[in-house]
Amino acid sequence: MKSLFRFLTWLLLFAPILAGAQQVRVLSEAVEFSGDIGSSQRKTVILQNESNQTKTYFLKNVRGSVGSSQKVRVCLNDQCFDPKKDLAKISIKLAPGEIVTDLYLEFEMGIAETRGSFDLFFVNSENIRENFVVEARYEVASGAGADFLHKDIKLGEIYPNPSNRVAQIDYELVNPATKAKISINSFIGNPIAEYELDPERNSLLINVTDFQPGVYFYTLFIDNKNVVTKKLQVKK
């Protein structure tokens, strides 16, 4: 009888915690913004609904520190919102098992050197104990310079690096007629993957979950000419 009483007491105490189990997982790692004063960046956030039900989440608050001269926007497809002013408008609906890749964060670096971090806290519209957090960090410097410049393309560094899930390369095709691609090779030169750069997008997402841990090289080709090669490290 005492054992039964203890079990029932345990259920009452821990039921709220169990009910608040996370249903949506953030597949992308912590979002990192790093650049010059006055610049701006856009990063992709990847989510997956791991439940068998449709879920709708809204942004409840932004926790942490954003500098007085920095600005952050939350974008759903092509529609962007200022979380300080439009908090109630920022919501996202996920079908059962759906992976969402059209959620973005835009960050303006501002006018002063600084660094910090902030979190976006999303909660389920029907059960606020169900939630997920998007973590973000930023570092603003003066004179950091561009990652790689070419007359036809601007190419950022791959991040996160090392990576164990999804790596991202930001780019801008200055000349939309340019045929550009990223080729990935193993440390000993074996081809692993190849990606065409879409002129209508500004970032390339690379799923590295099937890559073996180790060092890889990614090469930018423009009109089939090798332009630059850099290193990517994959970890587990």
Reported as a single tens digit per residue, the pLDDT across 193-202 is 999 999 999 8
DSSP 78: T
Return all residues near 196 (Cβ < 8 A) that are at least 6 apart.
179, 180, 181
Give exposure, 149-185, as e/b (b: 16+ Cβ within 10 Å). Answer: eeebbebbebbbeebeebbbbbbebeeeeeebebbbb
pLDDT per residue over 201-228, tens digit each? 989 999 999 999 999 999 999 998 888 8
- Per-residue pLDDT for 1 more than 70? no
Question: By the 8 A CB rule, do 76 and 103 touch?
Answer: yes
- Say how many C-beta atoms besides its own lie within 10 A of residue 81's C-beta: 17
The whole model's pTM is what? 0.61
The amino acid occupying position 210 is D
User: Which of 128 and 37 is assigned the larger pLDDT?
Assistant: 128
Higher pLDDT pick, 164 / 17? 164
Mean pLDDT, the chain, integer: 85
Q: Which residue has the tokens 């990606």?
A: 195
Report yes or no: 158 and 167 within 8 Å, Cβ to Cβ.
yes
Provide the edge-to-edge strand list for the sheet that holds 114-124: 31-36, 131-141, 114-124, 55-64, 91-94
Structure tokens, 41: 């960046």
More confident position, 158 or 35: 158
pLDDT interval class at 188 (50, 70, 90): confident
